[in-house]
Structure 1
Amino acid sequence: MSKNILITGASSGLGEGMARIFAARGNNLALCARRVERLEALRDELLQKHPGITVTLKPLDVMDYDQVFEVFRAFRAELGRIDRVIVNAGMGKGQPLGTGYFWANRQTAETNFVAALAQCEAAMEMFREQNSGHLVMISSMSAMRGMPKNLTTYAATKAGVAALAEGIRSEMLGKPIKVSTIYPGYIRSEINEKVKNTPFMVDTETGCKALVKAIESEKPTACVPAWPWTAVGFLMRNLPLSLVKKLG
């Protein structure tokens, strides 16, 4: 059965890749991001390949918190209901603390956590009214431990959103609202296109297929791709920090 799926940050990277796969599976899509022209190109591509689905678009800067609620409500009004919200929008900017880049770390923290909180609020508002839905939080393998240097703030935000999702999941246990936290490993996308020689890196298509598979399983948590990241996650949580820091 097809679903109405809302994806934030859908104009590039993992959001764009997931949209293509969900569309190929016959789902209707509500896509939002700042770069509307890229959303329009994606919509045209998807409708040409899959004319039986609905793809609706809206511009959204997730840092405009009022706009988050307006856009989510408008999508629901257009489609009648939203079955799944994927909180995907985020950024990877960051610098070692104490080096004069508070503005960059603050921007990362606000985009990845406070804006994600707004998206969760807006999604849960709809799901509580519907008494159904699936909230998906895109975290990161870096959430498993504190990370050094440029990753410090980013990892902290991803740990924060994972805890946020777990708190919502705890409240929703036994209810028809599911909450999943996805921990992607190294998947090639625009956010890391300049990073070279990274172990276990997979291409965007492979990574997005694994993401969609994990999301559709509706498991509470999943490391993606499962191999090797489930094992790596265990090691990250249990190895001495002196060894974990080498992953940063």
Structure 2
Amino acid sequence: MRHADRVPHPVRQRILITGASSGLGEGMARRFAAKGRDLALAARRADRLEALRDELLAAHPGIRVVVSALDVDDAAAVEDVVPKLAGELGGIDRFIVNAGIGKGASIGTGKAWANRATLVTNVLGAHAQCEAATELFRAQGHGHLVVISSVASLRGMRGTRTAYGAGKAALNALAEGIRSDLLGTGIRVTTVLPGYIATDINVGRRGPFTVDLDTGVAALTAAIEREPVRAYVPEWPWRPVAALLRVLPLPVVRRLT
């Protein structure tokens, strides 16, 4: 771990999580609620968000939880909902850009719609969130932007992962560009690259070293709390695997992924 990753950081009390109605987003909401954090949760499925809000408030009555339906494909809606949720909590200290989908097919097999949908949500939807979050943080003068990428972003992936990996690679560059722009300010940017975690989004895409959702979320929230520039989740084995993926010949990468 780099020295900069060990610098103490302020407690991020007010956390906004997108894609919070299932999978990693729902898991992170439960973990941060257990830590006593106040939450703003957004996702397309309002009924599931409301049920999660009620569950969290019952389990942790000292926290605040506000929710809003949100389709991140709608940039205007993102621009409207994010400041609304921030206003309800009195500000946002950490914004986790988590919403995404995992549709996809081999390029040129007649399912361009699935690949396009993945790219629209995972790239343009994430961009809309980053715009809204960073505008908010610039106005506040502080904040922690967390972009959920994937180890699939490190090399070109075959089959159903091609568009997904390409979209996540775009997020790596987007997050690094934002971080470069904000160096020396009170705003931190973290890119998180999860490995294979058992969620609904990656059914059929789980590979070697897949961990269960609870294990994955525990590693994910711990990494986010450290606020590094980049984190692999879980760190073992994905940090060394990531190093290998960058240098292995493509035929070997194809077999591994």
Deviations along 1:25-75, one digit per CA (max 9) or x if unpaired, are 010000000111111111111111100000000000111110001110101
Structure 1 contact 26–50 (Cα < 8 Å) conserved: yes
Partner residue of 1:111 out of 112, 121, 124: 121
2:181 alignment counterpart? 171
Tell me which residue corresponds to 1:30.
40
* Amino acid paired to 1:19: A
Please give the alpha-carbon distance, in whole angstroms, between the structure 2 residues aligned to 1:101 and 1:192. 18
Equivalent positions of 1:49-198 (< 5 A) are 49-194=59-204, 198=207
State the one-letter code of the partner of 1:27.
Answer: R
Q: CA deviation at 1:247?
A: 2.7
CA distance in 2, matches of 1:37, 1:142: 31
Give the aligned partner of residue 242 of structure 1: 251
Q: 2:227 corresponds to which residue? A: 218
Partner of 1:41: 51
Identity in percent: 57
RMSD: 1.0
| Residue 193 of structure 1, CA deviation | 3.7
- Deviation per CA, 1:175-229: give whole Å up to 9, x if none: 1100000000011111124556x32111111100100010010000000000000
Q: How many residue pairs end up in the alignment?
A: 247
Runs of 4+ in 1 over 2 A off after TM superposition: 192-196
Aligned partner letter, 2:212: D
Unpaired segments of 5 or more residues in structure 2? 1-10
Which residue pairs with 1:229 in the alignment? 238
Q: Contact between 1:32 and 1:58, CA under 8 Å: does it hold in 2?
A: yes
Q: What TM-score, normalized by structure 1, do the two folds share?
A: 0.97
Question: 2:6 — aligned with what?
Answer: none
Q: Does 1:8 align with 2:18?
A: yes
Q: 2-side partners of 1:45 and 1:247: how far apart?
A: 40
2:156·2:165 contact (CA, 8 Å) conserved in 1? yes
| Alpha-carbon contact 1:2-1:26 (below 8 Å) kept | no
Please tell me the residue identity of whatever aligns with 1:163.
A
Contact kept, 8 Å, 1:2 with 1:28, in 2: the verdict is no
Q: Shift in Å at residue 155 of structure 1?
A: 0.3
SS at match of 1:72: helix
CA contact (8 A) 2:155 2:245 kept: yes
Match in the other structure for 1:21:
31
